[in-house]
Structure 1
Amino acid sequence: MGGKLVFGVAIGVAVAACAVAAVVVGRRVERRSKWKRVLRILEELEAACDTPVKRLRQVVDAMAVEMHAGLASEGGSKLKMILTYVDNLPNGSEKGTFYALDLGGTNFRVLRVHLGGQRSLSLKHDVEMQPIPQNLMTGTREDLFDFIASSLKEFVEKANDPDQLAARRRELGFTFSFPVKQTSASSGALIKWTKGFSIENMVGRDAAESLQQAIDRIGLDMRVSVLINDTVGTLAVGHYQDPDTVAAVIIGTGTNACYLERTDAIIKCQGIFTTFGRMAINMEWGNFWSSHLPRTTYDVDLDADSPNPNEQGFEKMISGMYLGDIVRRVILKISQESDVFGPASTLLSMPFKLRTPLMAAMHEDSSLELTEVARILEDILEITDIPLKVRKLVAKICDIVTRRAARLAAAGIVGILKKIGRDGTSGIAGGRSRTNIKLKRTVVAIEGGLYTSYTMFREYLHEALVEILGEEIALHVILKPTDDGSGIGAALLAASYSSYDTVSVDKSL
């Protein structure tokens, strides 16, 4: 009897052990199955974001074709190819003190730049920032510009201005970062307000003239000599520092590009005259689109949820405004199909909760345990106790999204070079033959934190540039970081468009 009891207990223990083992094995199988689903999502993302050099060259060709179409007729392309009428870029010989006003959001800046007649990588300048009261953003144009002009006058009166002693009228460059229909280098009508402004009696009016009238009302002896956007300002800074600068790109929160085009290639404005046979063209390249762009379901959803669906497609794939949110959307997808991120975090469903600077910090986390990845996931998204392999997964997602963005930006830049015959080919209609082509030193000025502050983005962009152009051609293309095109660039253009004989013109392309 006792033996039977012992035997029965042994059997029971064995059965229980088997049951426990089955549960353990079952859980392991389930975890492996969930992890396989996670890896499948990652593999699908990587495949959808793939940018082999063949595809990048297709994007290059598409960019060049769209540029050509945008120059041929208004509305002929997703690229607006806006005429700026700026044809006289600063060349380093400018002398004097010049001012700039940078208005592009809820703050504005005023600057004073001192030029000594020689090129310099570091210009002596003074700057002040002033917030715009909320009521002025929805009031009248007179109230807004009177406030700005008063602040400008106070800024001018704080310092000794040598041009005042020389009985020279002060000159100012105005960076107005809103949609404008440019009519000359110093005039342009506002098309619509953005960024929280809604002053009705300003739409359709000349922004530079409105500022000039306010300046005149308060008795400040100053002329608004040029009206630009920030990308043209970046081109001006680049050309001031290096005469071989032919284009400028901003890759920051937003993105845009401009470049120097021959006036005889601007078909939509036949008969236009410029002193030097060229003009800066504001591409508004954020709106570029092509079927060759590697679009994912995350891009489609982001676009559908945005305030401007079906617009700014290129910008939504490469600019700092959106990269962090693409990564958030991928993490959200994984969290919905597995529990590798633990209990569901409601913060993961909040658009733009993960900003691009934080994404970049996770991507560039070089610690063995990826402690920065863990900290950001916990602090920003309230995702805690993440194992190392999941932290590595997040870093990989950041890498995939960033690499695609940087390589597409590189293709955009080469597209500009192709349009103006600086990519080592025969131009827009040519193939990739490089025989008998004289290679010119070609400088592209670049501004924006995504390029200047994000090392991995910058390295991926340079890598793609060499892949697309080839090593021999790439040696002649220099990407040169610049700073403060919207401020210093505007002052430099005020100098190059000065009504006084203190500058010499630059007739080189």
Structure 2
Amino acid sequence: MGFGEAAPRERESSSAHGPREAKRSCRGAMAALRLLLPPSTNNVSPFFLSTFSFGSLSIRPREIGIMAAVAEQVVADLREKCATPASLLRDVASAMAGEMSAGLEEEGGSKVKMLLSYVDKLPTGREEGLFYGLDLGGTNFRVLKVQLGGTKKRVVDCESREVTIPPHLMSGTSSELFGFIASELAEFVADEEEESTDLLNGKKRELGFTFSFPVRQTSVASGTLVKWTKAFSIDDAVGKDVVAELQTAMEKQGLDMHVAALINDAVGTLAGARYYDEDVVAGIIFGTGTNAAYVEKANAIPKWEENLPNSGDMVINMEWGNFFSCHLPVTEFDQELDKESLNPGEQIYEKLISGMYLGEIVRRVLLKMSLQSGIFGDNDHCKLNKQFHLRTPHISTMHHDETPDLKIVSEKLHEILGITDTSLETRKMVVEICDIVARRAARLAAAGVAGILLKLDRNGSVDNQRSVIAIDGGLFEHYTKFSECLESTLDELLGVEVSKSVTVKHANDGSGIGAALIAASQSR
């Protein structure tokens, strides 16, 4: 999963500026400036205020310091409201563990859904044979073939193919979409060499299906679609079993393939990492969105009324993006973003820590700073005023700028937002805003991880009990300062001794190879 890949279709911003709106905004900014000026600047000349405008900024050099002071106050306020001291993070971790327990007690008992994945057997590394994976989660899907050679050889070979879904199929019918996917699967299989066919020994091909849309799962290989997200809007698929739809489509293609498991990318990440390391206890996604899956003792799930599995374990799909606690440091920018989103009041934790939203939070801060201080000078606010125009990869690039004059920040402000001629001090403020927002996200993410360890009693209660957290997703992989801060914060929360037994690992491609490995483990 990437980070900040595709902006959701939000409501139009009520603050979009046309020529008249820009004038009104200018007058509002002047009024705000009067209110925000520190007491020491009360004697600023009326001439300064009367010439303050965004269309043609005209100020004298001595007034620049006043503008900088106002801008710095916006940054200082943000820093204070985004503060995440260790005591607060421990409260967040405790709240996460509490919500996990409540979600396991009964359906609807918590904002963290704690969904049963029905995966009770994870790969061990002993699996042998040929298995397949299908990863559907966006405008492309991938098919994979994985040859497993047991304990000694592990993954002998892995082949994959990525296919773009034609736009008309994303709003067509269920049979059209799954028919297209099945035809591509059939073509992928048809290209196999005779050697691959021999590995099957006359058995059906086993497929693991990663489906990254909300489903109500009823078994390890069945689940009804709750709703589409992203760019999909296939109405007749909602309420249907997506595995049955795919199975029917494959049979029409004459494809001798069986769907062994339906999973999401968090479960896939857990499975992919567990294949190589039996101490992996959780798989977490930090990308465009965020989610977590972990291994729970089956007898610790009161809402599960069926017979306990032989393994004694059950993988739980937390859907932790919907977590909320009064301890979360939510700012006015977060509140406005949530209010204008397609799902107000939901996924608050995700909106604070995931790649979809970090760039947008920074944009909102920059817009306020500019409107109140005029720090960006004579620049059009058209791009800065556009929702989701500043993306998380953009702020990552600026945040990692190590040039003496922050040249990359200057280039990005110009390229992305149309802002030119910024001073070095202004660029430093931009970097600090990126740092505040990303650091808050990383530290809150670490608190979530600590919450899982707390729920599993792996926070030091058992000496030398090794715990591995597998993490995938573009935010973690590509935003270095985010991942480094997450890991250092987790060490801070766990303490020196406990942190020695906890390892964070980057687990690549859980949504792909993880699906094939789950298929292998289910076929044992």
- The reply to whether TM is greater than 0.5 is yes
* Superimposed CA distance per residue, residues 191-212 of structure 1 (whole angstroms, 9 cap, x where no aligned partner): 1222232323322221111111
2:242 counterpart (203, 207, 210): 207
* Inter-partner Cα distance in structure 2 for 1:22 and 1:75: 59
Q: 2:460 aligns with which of 396, 414, 424?
A: 424
CA contact (8 A) 2:269 2:510 kept: yes
Corresponding residue of 1:391: 427
Q: Structure 2 regions of 5+ residues with no counterpart?
A: 1-44, 49-58
1:98-117 equivalent positions in 2, closer than 5 A: 98-117=131-150
The answer to whether the Cα contact below 8 Å between 1:113 and 1:126 also exists between their aligned partners in 2 is yes
* 1:399 to 1:203, Cα distance in 2 relative to 1, 3 A: same
1:133 aligned residue: 166
1:362 to 378, 393, 398: 398
- Is 1:304 aligned to 2:347, yes or no? no
Aligned in 2, Cα 1:70/1:119: closer, same or farther, shift over 3 Å? farther
User: In the alignment, what sits opposite 2:491?
Assistant: 466
How far does residue 267 in structure 1 lie from its aligned partner after superposition? 1.0
1:455 paired with 2:477, answer: no
What pairs with 1:184-263 in structure 2 (closer than 5 Å)?
Answer: 184-263=219-298
- Tell me the residue number matched to 2:16: none
Indicate conservation of the 8 Å contact 2:149/2:156, yes or no.
no
SS at match of 1:80: coil
> Does 2:388 correspond to 1:335?
no
- Paired with 2:250 and 2:447, the residues of 1 have a C-alpha distance of 43
Please say which of residues 311-320 and 200-209 is displaced more in the overlay: 200-209
Partner Cα distance (1:220, 1:260) in 2: 33
The superposition leaves residues 322-378 of structure 1 with CA deviations (integer Å, 9 ceiling, x where unpaired) of 101111111101100112111242110001111101100100000001010000000
Aligned to 1:324: 359
Report the residue type matching 2:142 in the other structure.
R
Query: What is the RMSD computed on CA atoms of the aligned residues?
Result: 1.8
Report the CA distance between 1:27 and its aligned residue: 4.2
Secondary structure in 2 matching 1:246? strand
Which residue identity does 2:419 align to in structure 1? I
Contact kept in structure 2, 1:362 and 1:395, CA below 8 Å: yes
**Do the aligned residues in 2 keep the contact of 1:97 with 1:162 (CA within 8 Å)?**
no
Aligned residues: 467
Q: Contact 2:210–2:512 (CA<8 Å) still a contact in 1?
A: yes
- 2:444 corresponding residue in structure 1: 408
If the length of structure 2 is used for normalisation, what is the TM-score? 0.86
Instruction: Please give the secondary structure, in 1, of the residue aligned with 2:259.
Output: strand
Identical amino acids, percent of aligned pairs: 52
What stretches of structure 1 of length at least 5 have no aligned partner?
1-20, 426-436, 504-509
Matched, 1:288 2:323: yes
Q: Contact 1:263–1:272 at 8 Å: present in 2 too?
A: no
**CA distance in 2 between partners of 1:161 and 1:333 (Å):** 64
- Matching residue's letter, 2:90: R
**What is aligned with 1:484?**
509
Give 2:469's aligned residue.
444
The separation in 2 between residues aligned to 1:140 and 1:384, in whole angstroms, is 48
In 2, distance between residues paired with 1:402 and 1:193?
A: 29
State the Cα distance separating 1:214 from its structure 2 match.
Answer: 1.2
Cα distance, 1:141 vs structure 2: 1.8
Report Cα offsets for 1:91-143 as digits up to 9, x if no partner. Answer: 11111111111111222111111111137787631111112222322222222
8 A contact 2:125–2:154 mirrored in 1: no
Which of structures 1 and 2 has the bigger CA Rg? 1
Work out the CA distance in 1 between the residues paired with 2:508 and 2:469: 13
Residues 122 and 446 from structure 1, CA distance in 2 versus in 1: closer, same or farther, beyond 3 angstroms?
farther
Counterparts of 1:15-30 in structure 2, within 5 Å, are: 27=60, 30=63
Partners of 1:106 and 1:22 lie apart in 2 by 55
**CA distance 1:185–1:49, change in 2 (3 Å):** same
Read off the aligned partner of 1:157 and give its amino acid letter.
A
Q: Secondary structure at the match of 1:346?
A: coil
Q: Is the 8 A contact 2:121 2:522 kept in 1?
A: yes
Comparing 264-273 with 109-118, greater Cα deviation is found at: 264-273
For 1:444, give the aligned amino acid.
I
Please say if residues 291 and 320 of structure 2, whose CA atoms lie closer than 8 Å, have aligned partners that are also in contact. Answer: yes
CA distance in 1, matches of 2:46, 2:442: 48
CA separation of 1:199 and 1:28: change in aligned 2, threshold 3 A: closer
The range that moved more, 278-287 or 123-132, is 123-132
Counterpart Cα distance in 2 of 1:378 and 1:358: 12
Which of residues 304, 308, 313 in structure 1 aligns to 2:348? 313
